[in-house]
Amino acid sequence: MQFKIALAAAVLFGLVSQFSPAKAAGFDLAAMPHAEREGVIETPNVIYASISGYRPLDLTLYQPANASGALPIVLYIHGGGWGLNPFKPITGTPPNPQVGLGDTTETFVKLAQRGYVVANVTYRLSSEAKFPAQIQDIKQAVRFLRAHASDIGGDPSHIIGWGSSAGGYLVVLLGTSCGVPAFEPPKAVAGPGAPPGAAPAVDLSVSDCVDAVADWYGPVEFSKMDAEAASNHLPGGSAMSHNSPTGPESKLLGCALPLCSADLLKEADPLTYVSAKTPPFLIIQGLADTGVPVEQSELLAAALKSAAVPTTVHLVPHANHMFFGIPLADQEKLVDETFAFFDRVSGKK
């Protein structure tokens, strides 16, 4: 289906700068540049945060074209080792030659057709800012979506986080760290008097909590990954050294993992924040994953179950990272399993 561009991008920038998360004055998504296909409206470049010294942070919305009532919202966090964005390459970062089914617009369209508002969120990469910038950005996106739920046709009481790989890590941390002060957005987020196109200042009275989490093959305890990879003896070994200064986890934290402080490793560990208040989790990972040791999912599941958090775990035989190594039809079944989880936790079924 051919895309139909609604208006020039300048209109988007003019509109986004005029609303506040504290009191959503409303903004007209139909007047923003958008495309429609297969009964779904795709609206890119919706700016949710502007931080001094960084590119504007944006998200792409996918909405059923003929929806009625408030729909559950699914916030998706992309993978790429925190160093690249498979949807929107950033200048100076390498392209991503391979993506899993989570990192495809077709998957978002399919989910929107099912009756969800889907937000595919960008965040600052590790080459732009070190941890905790990434989780700060994601929490601001949650606040943005919740504050403007009525404007996007969403239900603020049903926001679900979903992420894969590096995005899986961030969504797990999002789910376990509701209200953690260390992850509040920086004070430099733009407010009154900001240039056109800037998003409004953060309103911390808006909750950063999500109501459920779907984690696809995300890591949790970085310092254990190399030892786990060495012990599981997968064919071909580990895809990388996580402890190396050039490893993605080291780049995220700004130090080679063996040299990072215990306090930093603890702060970055999602398991630090698990409690009985943590929302329900779905965890899916391949047993043949050479990118993230499957023991990472097992650690997460054990911590969640120990806190009596409703947890569903599916470890997939023969599946590598991004579920490569199993037939496409079996990968699509994992997408369907994830969507069924969304239905359950949102009360759709």
pLDDT confidence of residue 7: 29
Helix-, strand-, coil-residue percentages of the chain, each rounded to 5: 35, 20, 45
Torsion sign (Cα): 206, 312, 165, 344: negative
Say what the pLDDT of residue 237 is: 57
Per-domain residue ranges of the chain: 9-19+27-346
Q: How far apart are CA 25 and CA 2, in angstroms?
A: 32
Phi-psi region of 246 (alpha: psi -120 to 50; beta: other; left: phi over 0): alpha
pLDDT at 202: 63
> CA-CA distance, 157 to 210, in Å (whole number)?
9
How far apart are alpha carbons 223 and 175 in whole angstroms?
Answer: 21
Q: How many beta carbons lie within 10 A of that of residue 106, not counting itself?
A: 11
- Quote the strand ranges of 208-274, DSSP E: 212-216
Q: How far apart are CA 318 and CA 264, in angstroms?
A: 34
Give the per-residue pLDDT at 18.
Answer: 27
pLDDT of residue 304: 98
- SS3 of residue 295 by DSSP: helix
pTM (2 decimals)? 0.86
Q: Give the architecture-level CATH label for domain 9-19+27-346.
A: 3-Layer(aba) Sandwich (3.40)
Partner residues linked to 284 by β-bridges? 216, 314
Residue 233's region, left for phi above 0, alpha for psi from -120 to 50, else beta, is left
| In the chain, beta strands by DSSP E | 35-37, 40-49, 57-64, 71-77, 117-121, 154-164, 212-216, 281-286, 311-316
pLDDT of residue 137: 95
pLDDT given for residue 100 in this prediction: 67
pLDDT of residue 5: 31
CA atoms of 111 and 95, how far apart (whole Å): 26
Give the Cα separation of 230 and 238 in Å (integer). 7
Taking the C-alpha atoms of residue 253 and residue 260, their distance in angstroms, rounded to an integer, is 8
Tens digits of pLDDT across the chain (349 residues): 333 333 233 223 233 332 223 233 445 666 777 888 899 999 999 988 888 888 889 999 999 998 888 999 999 999 999 998 877 655 555 555 555 666 778 899 999 999 999 999 999 999 999 999 999 999 999 999 999 999 999 999 999 999 999 999 999 999 999 999 989 876 655 554 455 555 556 678 899 999 999 999 999 999 999 888 888 766 655 666 788 889 999 999 999 999 999 999 999 999 999 999 999 999 999 999 999 999 999 999 999 999 999 999 999 999 999 898 999 999 999 999 999 999 999 988 6
CA distance linking residue 29 with residue 154, whole number of Å: 13
**pLDDT value of position 241:** 76
The confidence score (pLDDT) of residue 234 equals: 64
